[in-house]
Structures are given as structure tokens and as C-alpha cells.
């Protein structure tokens, strides 16, 4: 896939961070790497040229032997910021909709935020803040270096700071601090969570509410397609809790949501001195470190199997298609050496049709196009839909072999 790229698309500067960004521990071990992946996996482009011009970055996941935190030690914030600008140009806001509405309602009710004020770090276009206003919150403040308020949504109850959450914003007053799908994009997590802890400590009534992807599932399932450049920090229930406690926060509640994909955590400033979290969690950390090493080995095998399968399928002379034209497909192809053998992706989402995925520049079509493309194989990214997709292919009269990633490795 890297063939034909100009040198500016490869990460040339060694940005390796060796100490743990969560606990500053010195013993961190790499266990999985991707030489070049697009700095934005979630964007989609109008032309092949634009899609292929997306800068590439290196992923080198490492685990901290002291606290179990997983991070991309080759992460370069400047490169990620380039990627984030592509994303902010995409109008569609991910993670918005039914789930977000329910979460807003839950948080407002549990923490009695009706008539109160909410501060959101990483607010994007302010969609979640508008949801909270719509459900009874009186005042909202959004903080995001890339913030731009969506047109037509000007509201006197909303204040946006187009800035990062630095020390000079610690004086912002609110009853709750919300942070959704942002912490995984932040490299220096110790400093960031420390500021959140300081902000919470200014008023013991303040609550801190976070939502982010759960990395335990990715590690346990060997889901290498869920490793994206823009995600530099990977938390599990345990490492998130210990990072919060290290920041002087007391965890009130933690749960998995959205089919086990997201971690939710609710906290406030700690009222008592923290217990020795490191000593308490040592066996769990050992388990997590082992899981990471297993992931590294299994993924290496799985990637080789997928490459071999693509070569075998391509040799049959008919095109190979991927069912889903979104971030997981970008992550999947970025890890493979034979990604060029894939002809196209199909996706149910109309906004993606006729557009191109970052990195490979793979075209995304409507599933109906498969009638003309006549693929020999269709690789299904999400195995949950295997029956549904098989039925759809039969309905369309597409004679093809449908396989999951597990099938490619089998």
C-alpha cells in the first residue's frame, strides 16, 4: 500500500515516547506496530487524489508495565492535528443520535443538572451541548481547539472557547465537566487529567463525566482494525480508574455502554487521600500486560493470514470487495501489506457512496453496485451482520463468497 507514496507521506521523524504518559513509569514495552496508517481513519474524501494525499503516521502500541496503560509511543500530535482538521471538515458527527440523547438524559437526571451549567471539553460543533440544553441544562460552555459552532445554532446560553483545556481555562465555572470521545486523542493524559482533577477540586459538588472507547475489547478480540492513528491513548476500565485516581478524582460509577464498545466513567474530586492504587491493581496490570503481548503475537499471525488470503482470492481473477466503507476498513487495510488487492468497499450509508477512503483511496459504492462488479469475495468487517448481508447478496443475485475476517484467518 505504501508503494508509490512520496516521502512526505511517511513519518520520518522519530517521535518515540518511552515513558508512560499516564503514570510516568519508565518500563513500557511495544507490542504492535503499523508502519504507515492515515492520520485520519474516520474521514472520507471526494477524490482518490485527496484520499491518497492524507499524511501517514506510524503506530507503535506500547504497554506500561507499572500501570497497564496502552499508548502509541510514535504518536505525533502535530500529525494528528492535521488529521483532526480533515475530520472537522466532515459535516457528519459520529456518536450522535439516539445513544447521545439517552446518555445526556441519564447524566442530567443522575447528577441533577436541570437548571445548572455544563462544561464540555472536546465539544466539536457543540452537538452534545445543544442536546443538554434541550433537556433542561441552563448554561453550557464548550472548549475545543477546533471548535466552530454549526451554522444556525447560535444560542445565547452557549459559549464556545476555541482553545485547548489549559491552565488558563481552570477558572471556567460549571456544575459538570463532560468529555466524550476526546481522551483517546490526547497524548499527555497525566497532565490533562490532572487539570480535570484540579478543576473538580475547586468545588466538591462538581461532577466529571467521560465517555471513550474501551480498549479491553480491542485487545481481547485481537481487533487490529480498531487501532487508528488518531487514537493515541487506549484505556480499559482498570487503567481509566487508576488514571482518574492518580488525578485526584474519586470514581462514582463506571460502566460499559453501546454494546460494550464504550467506557463511561463518572467522578468527583477525591475527598480522602487516595489508596495505593498501584499496589492494589498489580495483578490486574500483569493480566493486561500479558493480554497486550498475546494481542501482538495473534495480530501478527492474523495479518499474515489475511494477506495470504487476499493473494489467494485475487488469483481467482475476480474482484474483492469489503462490506463497510468506514474507519474499520481503513484500519484493517492499513495493517495489511496486500491492501492494493482489494477492489472497492460498499456501504449502506448514502453519504459515503462515490467517495474514497483515506490512505488506499479505496472507492466506496452502494451495495447494489456489486451486481455489476461481480466480486469473487466479499469481506465483511462486522460479523454480526453475516446473515443479513448474505441474504442481501442472494436477493441482489450476487454470486460471491462472503467471508468474515475470522474466515480469512481460519
Residue 64 or residue 179: which is nearer to Zn ion going by CB? 64
- Identify which range of 63-71, 230-238, 306-314, 375-383 contacts Zn ion by CB under 5 A: 63-71
CB of 288 to Zn ion, least distance (A): 11
Among 54, 62, 64, 380, binds Zn ion (CB under 5 A): 64
Residues 6 or more apart from 273 whose CB is under 8 A from it? Answer: none
Among 11, 67, 147, 327, binds Zn ion (CB under 5 A): 67
Residue 61 or residue 178: which is nearer to Zn ion going by CB? 61
Residue 66 or residue 281: which is nearer to Zn ion going by CB? 66
Judged by CB under 5 A, the chain residues 2 through 61 that form the site for Zn ion are: 20, 22-23, 25
- Identify which range of 62-70, 229-237, 316-324, 363-371 contacts Zn ion by CB under 5 A: 62-70
CB of 298 to Zn ion, least distance (A): 23
Residue 61 or residue 119: which is nearer to Zn ion going by CB? 61
Interaction of residue 69 with Zn ion, rule CB under 5 A: yes
**Pairing verdict, β 70-72 and 56-64:** antiparallel
- Identify which range of 65-73, 247-255, 314-322, 361-369 contacts Zn ion by CB under 5 A: 65-73
Residues 6 or more apart from 358 whose CB is under 8 A from it? Answer: 38, 40, 41, 43, 44, 45, 51, 54, 86, 330
Residue 242 or residue 309: which is nearer to Zn ion going by CB? 242
The C-alpha atoms of residue 117 and residue 162 are separated, in whole angstroms, by 19
The C-alpha atoms of residue 345 and residue 366 are separated, in whole angstroms, by 9
Residue 20 or residue 381: which is nearer to Zn ion going by CB? 20
Interaction of residue 70 with Zn ion, rule CB under 5 A: no
Q: Of 40, 87, 10, 45, which is closest to residue 330 (Cα–Cα)?
A: 40
CB of 71 to Zn ion, least distance (A): 9
CB of 287 to Zn ion, least distance (A): 15
Backbone phi and psi for residue 8, each to the nearest 5 degrees, phi listed first: -65, -15
CB of 361 to Zn ion, least distance (A): 38
- Identify which range of 66-74, 176-184, 229-237, 373-381 contacts Zn ion by CB under 5 A: 66-74
The C-alpha atoms of residue 267 and residue 248 are separated, in whole angstroms, by 10
With 0-12 / 13-18 / 19 or more C-beta atoms within 10 angstroms meaning exposed / middle / buried, residue 182 is: buried
Sheet holding 401-404, edge to edge: 355-356, 363-365, 344-346, 320-323, 377-380, 401-404
Residue 64 or residue 123: which is nearer to Zn ion going by CB? 64
Q: How many CB atoms lie within 10 A of CB 263?
A: 26
Task: Identify whether the C-beta of residue 65 lies closer than 8 Å to the C-beta of residue 289.
Answer: yes
Backbone phi and psi for residue 301, each to the nearest 5 degrees, phi listed first: -65, -45
Residue 246 or residue 365: which is nearer to Zn ion going by CB? 246
Judged by CB under 5 A, the chain residues 153 through 212 that form the site for Zn ion are: none
CB of 24 to Zn ion, least distance (A): 7
Q: What angle do CA 42, 220, 14 make, to 5 degrees?
A: 55
Residue 66 or residue 236: which is nearer to Zn ion going by CB? 66
The C-alpha atoms of residue 262 and residue 266 are separated, in whole angstroms, by 13
Interaction of residue 66 with Zn ion, rule CB under 5 A: yes
CA 183 to chain centroid, in Å, comes to 10
Residue 73 or residue 125: which is nearer to Zn ion going by CB? 73
The C-alpha atoms of residue 24 and residue 298 are separated, in whole angstroms, by 28
Residue 75 three-state SS: coil
CB of 73 to Zn ion, least distance (A): 12
**Binding residues for Zn ion, total number by CB under 5 A:** 8
The three state secondary structure string of 262-292 is EEEEEEEECCCCCCCHHHHCHHHHHHHHHHH
CB of 67 to Zn ion, least distance (A): 3
CB of 19 to Zn ion, least distance (A): 8
Residue 39 or residue 288: which is nearer to Zn ion going by CB? 288
CB of 31 to Zn ion, least distance (A): 14
Interaction of residue 393 with Zn ion, rule CB under 5 A: no
CB of 310 to Zn ion, least distance (A): 37
Q: List residues binding Zn ion (CB under 5 A).
A: 20, 22-23, 25, 64, 66-67, 69
Amino acid at each position: 500500500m505504501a508503494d508509490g507514496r512520496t516521502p512526505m507521506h511517511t513519518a520520518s521523524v522519530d517521535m518515540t515516547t518511552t515513558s508512560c504518559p499516564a503514570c510516568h513509569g519508565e518500563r513500557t514495552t511495544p507490542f504492535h506496530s503499523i508502519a504507515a496508517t492515515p492520520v485520519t481513519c474516520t474521514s472520507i474524501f471526494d477524490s482518490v487524489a485527496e484520499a491518497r494525499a492524507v499524511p501517514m503516521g506510524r503506530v507503535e502500541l506500547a504497554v506500561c508495565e507499572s500501570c497497564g496503560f496502552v499508548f502509541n509511543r510514535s504518536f505525533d500530535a502535530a500529525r494528528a492535528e492535521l488529521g483532526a482538521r480533515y475530520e472537522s471538515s466532515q459535516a457528519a458527527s459520529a456518536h450522535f443520535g439516539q445513544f447521545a440523547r439517552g446518555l445526556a438524559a441519564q447524566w442530567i437526571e443522575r447528577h441533577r443538572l436541570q437548571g445548572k451549567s455544563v462544561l464540555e471539553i472536546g465539544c466539536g460543533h457543540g452537538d452534545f451541548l445543544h442536546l443538554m440544553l434541550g433537556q433542561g441544562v441552563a448554561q453550557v460552555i464548550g472548549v475545543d481547539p477546533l471548535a466552530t459552532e454549526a451554522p444556525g445554532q447560535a444560542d445565547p446560553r452557549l459559549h464556545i472557547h476555541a482553545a485547548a483545556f489549559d491552565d488558563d481555562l481552570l477558572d471556567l465555572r460549571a456544575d459538570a465537566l463532560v468529555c466524550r470521545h476526546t481522551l483517546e486523542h490526547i497524548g499527555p493524559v497525566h497532565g490533562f487529567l490532572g487539570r480535570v482533577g484540579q478543576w473538580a477540586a475547586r468545588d466538591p459538588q462538581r461532577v466529571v463525566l467521560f465517555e471513550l472507547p474501551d480498549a479491553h475489547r480491542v485487545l481481547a478480540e485481537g481487533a487490529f482494525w480498531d487501532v487508528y492513528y488518531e487514537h493515541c491513548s487506549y484505556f480499559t476500565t482498570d487503567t481509566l480508574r487508576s488514571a482518574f485516581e492518580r488525578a485526584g478524582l474519586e470514581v462514582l460509577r463506571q460502566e460499559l455502554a453501546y454494546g460494550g464498545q464504550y467506557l463511561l466513567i463518572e467522578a468527583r474530586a477525591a475527598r480522602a487521600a487516595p489508596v495505593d492504587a498501584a499496589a492494589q491493581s498489580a495483578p490486574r496490570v500483569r493480566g493486561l500486560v500479558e493480554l497486550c503481548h498475546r494481542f501482538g503475537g495473534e495480530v501478527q499471525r492474523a495479518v499474515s493470514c489475511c494477506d495470504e488470503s487476499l493473494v489467494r482470492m485475487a488469483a481467482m481473477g475476480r474482484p474483492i470487495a469489503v462490506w463497510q466503507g468506514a474507519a474499520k476498513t481503513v484500519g484493517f487495510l492499513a495493517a495489511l501489506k496486500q491492501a492494493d488487492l482489494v477492489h472497492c468497499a460498499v456501504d449502506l450509508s448514502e453519504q459515503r457512496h462515490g467517495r474514497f477512503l483515506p490512505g488506499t483511496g479505496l472507492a466506496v459504492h452502494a451495495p447494489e453496485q456489486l451486481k455489476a462488479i461481480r466480486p469473487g469475495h466479499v469481506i465483511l468487517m462486522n460479523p454480526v451482520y453475516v446473515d443479513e448481508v448474505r441474504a442481501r447478496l442472494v436477493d441482489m443475485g450476487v454470486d460471491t463468497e462472503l467471508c468474515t475476517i475470522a474466515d480469512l484467518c481460519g
